[in-house]
Amino acid sequence: MNRTVKMAFLLACALLTVTVPLFAAPDTSLRNSFELRVPTPPTPVDIAGKTLLVYELHLTNFSRDELSLTRLEVFDADNKSAVLADFRDTELATLIGRSGAPDRKQDPRRIAPGAHAVIYLWLSPGGAAKLARKLGHRIEFDDAHAQTLEHASVEGGVAEVRAPTALTLGPPLRGGPWIAIYDPAAERGHRRVLFALDGQVHLPARFAIDWIKLDASGKFAHDDEGRVANWVGYAEDVIAVADAVVTATREDVVESAALGTPRAAPGGLQNASGNYVSLDLGNGRYAFYEHLKPHSIKVKPGEHVRKGQLIGALGYTGDSTGPHLHFHVADADATLAAEGMPYVLDRFRLLGDYATLEDFGKGQPWRPAADAAGTPRTLEFPAAKSVIEFDPSRPTRQ
């Protein structure tokens, strides 16, 4: 090989060496997508004989593309092959919520650039959940417009499972029948209403129940249901769920005699709870009784109360669509700036349930429990839409 040819050959090799990386396939190992966070630890709670894990997975899309969620796997973070729950397609869509007014025309699985979403989890993963010390999450997603990527995934949101609590309470009311109004899947139900009031997001009513009394046929009111006094549970006794200390009361919120008319003075969230009582249950747990009848509160801040003691009457004040008792437990003495915590009731009798809240709203009879006399339940959180009786050994006040 002469010198000229040899120099040309070496130059060609050098150019090839330099230019090959410029045309190599792009590195796809790094991709801007979702931040996954679990702000509040997954919390076990016993409902209808099952231990459920209740918590929220927060997602923020940090990419420049609209991304579409296709699958969520929840796994044991110490053993990724142990999948505890797997959600896809429309089932996954039902778990996703957004802050503000939701756009019902938009698929909730489509997350715009910079947008935030919350996946509300209410898991029943069986025995495996009791063995999991930490949970991890795997999100699969596509480019919503199928332009830049398909079937990508990201893992994160590792969270330690909260140790089971032993907070056992008595009933907040007497007699029955009472329906436990809540629905984990309701778009604007207690379970999905977040408040950002002090620089961080809280979900105070994570385990809230609205209690409405029924008559024997399943009706919640007699004659004109638009009249507050005609509701079966109106003015019923509200009682202490435990030996506790009263931390706060309010009873200056006015009450209308009819549904749909103004019930509270202007002030927005300040009046949402209406007249209320909060109790310090000890160990950083507080009980809240809301929407109480004006001038019915029998206790004062600083007072020690005994389990079963009368503290007020069920009413129609604050942000309420009808007379009921809103009851929940939280980790701070604040009606909204706190995290909702689970508890169990020491005992109640399960009379039946409703298939849907629409059936209840129509005044239809509830579906009776297998035991016609009512199934005794102990150390459980009442199931959604269940109909129960408290303390059946004591007569219901007429």
Domain boundaries along the sequence of the chain: 34-160, 168-390
pLDDT above 90 (res 169): yes
Out of 17-21, 78-82, 241-245, least confident range: 17-21
* Residue 27, pLDDT score: 40
pLDDT above 50 for 396: no
Retrieve residue 361's tokens: 């709203």
Q: pLDDT confidence of 69, banded at 50, 70, 90?
A: very high
Strands (E), 38-151: 43-47, 50-61, 67-76, 79-88, 96-97, 110-111, 116-123, 134-143
Span 195-203, average pLDDT: 88
- Would you state the CATH architecture of domain 168-390? Distorted Sandwich (2.70)
CA distance 384 to 306: 28
The pLDDT of 359-370, averaged and rounded, is 90
Stretch among 261-265, 303-307, 376-380 having the lowest mean pLDDT:
261-265
Q: Report phi then psi at 66, rounded to 5.
A: -75, 125
Helix or strand (DSSP H, E) at 5: helix 3-19
> CA 195 to CA 209: how far, in whole Å?
18
pLDDT of residue 131: 63
More confident residue, 371 or 366: 366
**What gap in Å lies between CA 141 and CA 172, rounded to an integer?**
45
Q: What is the chain's mean pLDDT, rounded?
A: 85
17: pLDDT strictly greater than 60? no
At residue 326's C-alpha, the angle toward residues 321 and 330, to 5°, is 140
pLDDT value for 13: 44
SS3 108: coil
* Lowest-pLDDT choice from 9-13, 180-184, 318-322, 342-346: 9-13
Q: Give the phi and the psi of residue 155 in degrees, each rounded to 5.
A: -115, 150
Rounded-to-integer distance, Cα 188 and Cα 185, Å: 9
The CATH number, out of the four listed (3.30.70, 2.60.40, 2.60.120, 3.30.720), of the domain defined by the range 34-160: 2.60.40
Structure tokens at 341: 């915590």
Q: What percent of the chain has pLDDT over 70?
A: 84
Rounded Cα gap, residues 45 and 133, in angstroms: 16
Question: Taking residues 288-294, what's their average pLDDT?
Answer: 97
Same topology, domains 34-160 and 168-390? Answer is no
Q: What is the pLDDT of residues 204-257, one digit of tens each?
A: 999 999 999 999 999 999 999 999 999 999 999 999 999 999 999 999 999 999
* pLDDT over 50 at 24, yes or no: no
Going by pLDDT thresholds of 50, 70 and 90, the confidence category of residue 15 is very low
pLDDT at 103: 61
pLDDT of residue 301: 97
101 CB neighbour count, 10 Å cutoff: 7
Quote the longest CA-to-CA distance of the chain.
Answer: 115
pLDDT at 145: 74
**φ, ψ for residue 120 (rounded to 5)?**
-90, 115
Q: Which are the contacts of 71, defined by CB distance < 8 A and separation ≥ 6?
A: 86, 87, 88, 92, 138, 139, 140
Distances (CA, A) of 11 to 20, 21, 24, 121, 174: 14, 17, 20, 62, 93
Q: What is the pLDDT of residue 291?
A: 96
